[in-house]
Amino acid sequence: MTRPFKIDKTLRERRRIIRLLDFLKREDLTTDQMERIGKRLQKSGRRALSPLVRKLWHEKNGTAIYRYACMLDFFDDSSWLDQLVQITLRRTDLEEEGRMALLDALQDYGIDVTAPPFAGLVGYGAASIDAFIKECLKDGERGLVRFMDMFLDAADEIRERMIHCLSEEGTPDAVALLEILLSFEQPEVVREAIITLGKVKSGFSLGVLTRAEQRHEGEIVDLIRRSIRRLSFMGIREPNELPHTFPVPLPFHQVQAGPLDIYGARSLLFSWSLEDSSLAALLLLVGESDGVINALSYRIKDEREFAAVLREVAAGELLEPVEPSYAVAVLKDALYHSREKGYYLPPDFYVDMRLFSPDSLRPEPYVPRFSMSHLDGIVARIPGYVTTSNELLDCTSLEGWLLSEPAVYDAVDRLEALEKKNRDGIIPEQELEVELARFCKELIIPRRAEIIKRLLLIADYMQQVKSDETQVQHTLACALSLVGGFLPEVRHPFIRRLMLDSIETARQAMAEGYDLRMEESFDEE
């Protein structure tokens, strides 16, 4: 009897899964894209989990491993957690970044990676938390960052153990870490750090508490004074400054800032000259409503190396020199939003915040202010400025103002369908207006208030970097015209070009094989 062949109907889906997993290796991948990929993989269940786990067995790039590990969250951990443990223990070929990604994933699922058999892996020390902290304290500034990186992810009981270990070490490095913890967001951590400083028999500890007494208030000050009295009973009455290797507030060397993108993010760069003639720099990514998003700390040996770093960073982030007071005000605003949303700060920032004066780090919302020369007669000039407001998108300060979202790619599909429907490939004006009105309704009107605020902040940035006064007023007038409904959004020249530029950019990306929507969906069955 002839046995009929069984047709494999899953081939198409398996190919999609492989494409999705390969897409995770793109450099410009966003959090939103990762979320969408995860949901699509989730729909395929075990058919997607098996190739995902295989990727973790073979991938060597640390960023890709991190992203693959994030995808595991979309599956029942009972089907992959044991395999992840084996991968972490047996993949001895990985660099530190890859191992840290695997260890972080295990820690997120409640596994104590500071205990055997994981403790000996790179990044988490030897056989215990004590050994991990000893390694951090031997590694200078980077060791402090490693400590804070783990501290942020640790459970409360692990944090208590980490602070207790610092009191047993009692070295200047340990005291420096306790001083960093005095700026932590959780009051219980601050209290524990103060009590621990009172147990470290060292003039360095007294010096930290003395400085802290000046910038705290209320119950915290009473606790600080009790720790100071405790040190006095132990014979510690003369405060000592931490060695010069541990930064203290210093004047700024250079301060630079970049413009906001359409989603409200911008970069700030602060730098300082240290006493040993080297330099420190801190590059921050801050969001107009998202707070301090990321931080990258630099230690630079001399001015020549600093100039090279500055050229590279300034070109990528569109940085321009600004007055320190302006950059500090923007930083305070970011700290305000981080605190408002309950976000922890990046590890590098916790370590380098000692370079700022305490007043520079007081969370405070920022409201831009404009000179009378920019405001004088602006209402009467709005009609004229609106007419040419599309030209603002050619300004350096508005470079990159493009919407990059799945709905933009949907609009490209609809417009291309209309082109194909007409023999000459030209979309009738009426049909084009219908599509632009839909785009406006879906993507512009819901965020009109955000666009207005960001245009005002861009105008403020322009005046800070000494842009042409007419350009500042032009941007300001554009924002005010959107407040007053001077024109329907779809007819507004600035908004209209923003829409068309975004659509054209998405069209070009699709022509090159890139689709934010991942080209295909698993909804087809």
Could you give the CA distance from residue 91 to residue 89 in angstroms, rounded to a whole number?
Answer: 6
How would residue 118 be classed by pLDDT, with cut points 50, 70 and 90?
A: low
How would residue 521 be classed by pLDDT, with cut points 50, 70 and 90?
A: very low
Backbone dihedral angles phi then psi of residue 299, each to the nearest 5 degrees: -125, 120
Residue 286, helix vs strand vs coil:
strand
What's residue 128's pLDDT? 67
* Residue 42 predicted with pLDDT over 60: yes
b/e 375-406 (16+ beta carbons within 10 angstroms → b): eeeeeeebeebbeebbebbebebbeebbbbbe
What's residue 85's pLDDT? 86
* Residue 519 predicted with pLDDT over 60: no
In this predicted model, which residue has the larger pLDDT, 268 or 17?
268
Burial degree of 254 (CB within 10 A; 0-12, 13-18, 19+): middle
Q: What's the whole-number mean pLDDT along residues 368-393?
A: 90
b/e 111-133 (16+ beta carbons within 10 angstroms → b): bebbeeebbebebbbeeebbbbb
* Residue 523 predicted with pLDDT over 60: no
Q: Does residue 379 come out as left (phi exceeding 0), alpha (psi in the -120 to 50 range) or beta?
A: alpha
Percent of the chain with pLDDT over 70: 92
What residues form DSSP beta bridges with 267?
A: 285
How would residue 423 be classed by pLDDT, with cut points 50, 70 and 90?
A: confident
User: What tens digit of pLDDT does each residue of 309-337 get?
Assistant: 898 888 888 899 999 999 999 999 999 99
CB 250 within 8 A of CB 272: yes
* Residue 115 predicted with pLDDT over 70: no
Q: Does residue 521 come out as left (phi exceeding 0), alpha (psi in the -120 to 50 range) or beta?
A: beta
For 21-72, the DSSP string reads: HHHTT-TT--HHHHHHHHHHHHHHTHHHHHHHHHHHHH---HHHHHHHHHHG
What's residue 122's pLDDT? 43
How would residue 471 be classed by pLDDT, with cut points 50, 70 and 90?
A: very high
Q: Which long-range contacts (CB under 8 A, 24 or more apart) does 212-220 make?
A: 212/179, 212/182, 215/358, 220/187, 220/190, 220/191, 220/194
* Residue 97 predicted with pLDDT over 90: no
Could you give the CA distance from residue 236 to residue 321 in angstroms, rounded to a whole number?
Answer: 45
Single-letter residue type at 66: Y
Single-letter residue type at 54: R
* Residue 6 predicted with pLDDT over 60: no
Residue carrying structure tokens 């950059």: 327
What's residue 244's pLDDT? 63
Of 178, 141, 139, 138, which Cα lies nearest the Cα of 159? 178
What's residue 460's pLDDT? 96
How would residue 274 be classed by pLDDT, with cut points 50, 70 and 90?
A: confident
Q: For residue 251, is the peptide bond before it cis, meaning its omega torsion is within 30 degrees of 0?
A: no
* Residue 8 predicted with pLDDT over 50: no
* Residue 132 predicted with pLDDT over 90: no
Q: What's the whole-number mean pLDDT along residues 505-515?
A: 85
72-86, 100-114, 286-300, 479-493: segment of lowest average pLDDT:
100-114
54-58, 133-137, 518-522: segment of lowest average pLDDT:
518-522
Could you give the CA distance from residue 358 to residue 336 in angstroms, rounded to a whole number?
Answer: 15
Percent of the chain with pLDDT over 90: 47
Single-letter residue type at 354: R
How would residue 524 be classed by pLDDT, with cut points 50, 70 and 90?
A: very low
What's residue 438's pLDDT? 95
Of 106, 111, 75, 108, which Cα lies nearest the Cα of 91? 106
Could you give the CA distance from residue 435 to residue 347 in angstroms, rounded to a whole number?
Answer: 45
